A and B are shown apart, each in its own frame.
Chain A
Amino acid sequence: MAQQRKNQLNLFNPQSFTFLSFIFFVILSLALMGLDKKYNLGSQIKYHVELLKSPLYVTINAPLDLKNHIANYFKSQEQLLHENEALNKKIMQLDFELQKLNFIKEENTNLRQSLKIQELKKNQIITAEIIHPKKINNKVIITINKGASDHVKLGSAVLNNLGLIGQIVELYETKSMMMPATSNKFQVSAVTDKTKENFILSGNNSPFLEIKRYPISGKINIGDQILTSGLDHLYPRGIKIGKVEKIEPIGDSQYNRIIIRPFSTPEQLSHVSIIAE
C-alpha cells in the first residue's frame, strides 16, 4: 500500500485551490504585464528563447525555400534570357539616372559649401530578407534575417524601393523583428512634398496611416506625397511614406483627420533595406 502510494504523484489537489492564490496569480499576471510594458522585462528572456525557436523558423520556411529552389532549378533557358534582357535594360536606365544623380550630387555639395550648410549624414544600407512567419498568433510580427551581428541597430528604419515600411523593434544576434508603419505604436515626423509642413504621422493597425488632428487651415490636398522630415533624427529626411487618400472631419471645427495610404506594406515584400548609421 505504502509502495503504491510512493508510485503516485500528488500533482493536482483541487482542495489546494484557494481564492486567495487565484487572486495572487491574477495580480501577479497584471503586475508582469505592467512591468513588461514599462520596462520591457521580457526582452532579455525572449532574446535567449529566440535561439531555441530557430528549428521552428527553419521548419516553417522549409516548404517555401524548397518551392523556390525547385522553381529556380526548372527555369527554362528562354525565361532566363528574357529576365537577363530586362535586367540589362534596367541597368542602362539606372546608369543614365546615376549620371544625372552624380551631377546633382556635385552641384549640391558645391551649394552646401558655398552656403556653409552641414553635410548630410551618410547611411549604410543593409539588405535583408523577410522570413516567415509574418504573423505570430494573429499579430503582425515581421522577422528579418539580419540582426546585431550584421550591424542592425534597434530603432533602425526599414524601407524598400517604394518607401518607408517600418522600424526595427526587437534585435537578436542573427534576426530582428520590425514593426510595420501601419502599427498603432508607430509614429514618424513627416512633411508633404509641396507645402513642407511638419506633422506627426501615426499608424492605427489598419492598412492606412493617419494624421489625427490636422488644422482645417492647412494646405494638404488629396494626392500629396508624404515624406519623412528627419526631425526625429531616427529616419533620414526625404524617405517616401505614402500618399494622402482622404481628408475627413472629426467633429471638431478646427481640425480634420488625414488618411494616408502607404506606398508599400511589408506583408507584400520578400526583401527590405535597413538603414544603419
Chain B
Amino acid sequence: MKKSIAELRRELLNLILFLLITLFCAHLNFEFFGINDTSPEYFVSFIAVILTINLYRLDLIKVFLLGLIADILVFNLLGSYALIFVVIYGCHYLAHRIMSINSNQQQLILLLCLIQVGFNFSYVIFFYHGDFNFNFLAYLINNFLTIALGIISFYVLRYIKR
C-alpha cells in the first residue's frame, strides 16, 4: 500500500526528529554501570528501527546518504556509518525476500537480528581503524544497551506512527 504525500511528510519529520535525538544522545557522555566506554550504538539502533517499522520508505541511496550524514555529524571516518547502514539495509532486504515478516514479534526478531549485524559490523570497522580498545565486558554491555534502546525506540515509534 502506497503512502500519501501528507503521510510521507509526517514520517519524514519524524525521521528528522529521531535523527536529531540520536545525534543528541550520541553527544552525551553517559557511562553505564560505572564502566568506561559503555554506550549504546545509537546510530545502529536508529537505522535498524526505522527500517524495521518502515517509518519513512527508504531506499539504498537514502540509507547511504543517512550514513554519510551520521559520519559527518559524529566526526567518524567518512563512509564508516554509510557502510554499516548499507549492510543493515541489505540484511533487511534479504530477510524480507526470504521470509514473511508481518506480526509485531516477527518485526522485533528482525530488529534484534539487524542490531546484531550492525553492532558487530560497527565494532569490526571501528576496531580496525583503531578508534577504541576491545574490552569484552564493555562489548557485552554495549550490545545489551543497543538492543534495549532499539526495543524502546521500536515501541515508541510504532506508537507515534499510529
Contacts and interface: CB of A to CB of B under 8 A. Distances in A.
Contacts of A42: 71-72, 77-78
Interface in B29-50: 29, 37-39, 41-43
Interface string A1-20: 00000011111111011000
A8 B57 CA distance: 12
- Chain A's interface: helix, strand, loop or mixed, by majority? mixed
B136 interface: no
B86 interface: yes
A75 B2 CA distance: 62
A46 B132 contact: no
B53 interface: no
Contacts, number: 129
A141 B96 contact: no
Given A46-B75, A205-B130, A25 B27 contact: no
B24 A11 contact: no
B23 A26 contact: no
Nearest to A40: B78
B162 interface: no
B74 interface: yes
Contacts of B43: 137
Contact of B78 (A11, A32, A132): A32
A17 B79 contact: no
Interface string A158-193: 000000000000100000010000001100000000
Q: Which 9 A-B pairs have the closest CB atoms?
A: A12-B57, A32-B79, A29-B83, A36-B78, A42-B78, A33-B79, A205-B133, A138-B39, A29-B79
